[in-house]
Amino acid sequence: MNSGAAMKWSRYFGLVAIGLCCWTSLPATAWPVFKPSLSSGQVKQLPPAPPSTPPPNRTRSGGSLGDEAVCTAGDQSVRALIPVENPVLTTAAHPTFLFYVPYGSEQVQYGEFSVLVGVNEMQRLYRTRFMLPAQPGIVSIQLPESPDYQLKEDTFYHWYFKLACAGHTTPNIQVDGWVQRVALTPDRQRQIDSASPEVWYDALAQVAEQRLTDPQNPALMTQWQNLLTTINATELIEMPIVGSVQLQSE
């Protein structure tokens, strides 16, 4: 290699060395950040976070689930006896649910009650078919007293109450709502005993059960009236409490 070429290579490597020195001495904030450019079709869409409180309960059956006519009961409709807004609480592992049904057993082929776990409903806790009492009125259904069907505390459960009118093979009337189990504390026990609406499922079920055995008790009637007034169901105060539905094995 001649002396001219050697000098050129010497200057080249010197410039490279200086560049590397200056590059590595840059502060962290001065380093270039390379971000891949994604087209709109390549952007990953994350699923929305589940709501901390479920949506409002659908307490009234707005009509048929299909195109067929519903059972006939004038202008009355099925109604779940719970508040519209959540959360609606229970302290019971196997709570009781109450519904007003303006149909007797001769108008309904069968009913179906199911409970699913969580806001995403990825698991079914319980499902059963039932028959209504012969007389229209306020009916109840309770989760079976089995560890397999007990509610866990601080978990939301979504239940569905469906009816198939006579002549129908699938349900065509539905109401649905939510229940959250919470711990039984002394304060909550006092609320239940005084028929206060804070622990709704327990208070309503307790008053309904007591009224079945003592329907003329004025104190119980006052508690019942207050609870139904809370959910704007005063038209149901005088409706008969006809007891539990008859469960069927599937």
> Per-residue pLDDT tens for 92-139?
999 999 999 999 999 999 999 999 998 889 899 999 999 999 999 999
Structure confidence at residue 52 as a pLDDT band (50, 70, 90): confident
> Which pLDDT belongs to residue 22?
44
pLDDT, average across residues 213-237 = 97
Residue 159 pLDDT > 50:
yes
Band the pLDDT of 28: cuts 50, 70, 90.
very low
Kindly tell me the sign of the dihedral angle through the C-alpha atoms of 186, 187, 189, 194. positive
Do residues 112 and 235 touch, judged by C-beta distance below 8 A?
no
Contact 92, 201 (CB under 8 A): yes
pLDDT at 84 over 90: yes
The pLDDT of residue 27 is above 80: no
Does the pLDDT at position 249 exceed 70?
A: no
Q: What confidence tier does 31 reach under pLDDT thresholds 50, 70, 90?
A: very low
The per-residue pLDDT for 65 is 54
Q: Which residue has the higher pLDDT, 19 or 98?
A: 98
The whole-angstrom distance between residue 91's C-alpha and the CA centroid of its chain comes to 16
Mean pLDDT confidence for 168-184: 96
Q: Does domain 79-182+232-248 have CATH number 3.40.50.1110?
A: no
Q: Is the pLDDT of residue 6 over 90?
A: no
Average pLDDT estimate for 33-45: 48
pLDDT band, residue 11 (cuts 50/70/90): low
CA-based nearest residue to 167, from 110, 112, 109, 111: 109
Q: Which DSSP helix (H) or strand (E) runs through 159? A: strand 156-165
d(CA 57, CA 18): 71
Evaluate if pTM is beyond 0.75. Answer: yes
Average pLDDT over residues 202-215: 97
Q: So what's the pLDDT on residue 72?
A: 77
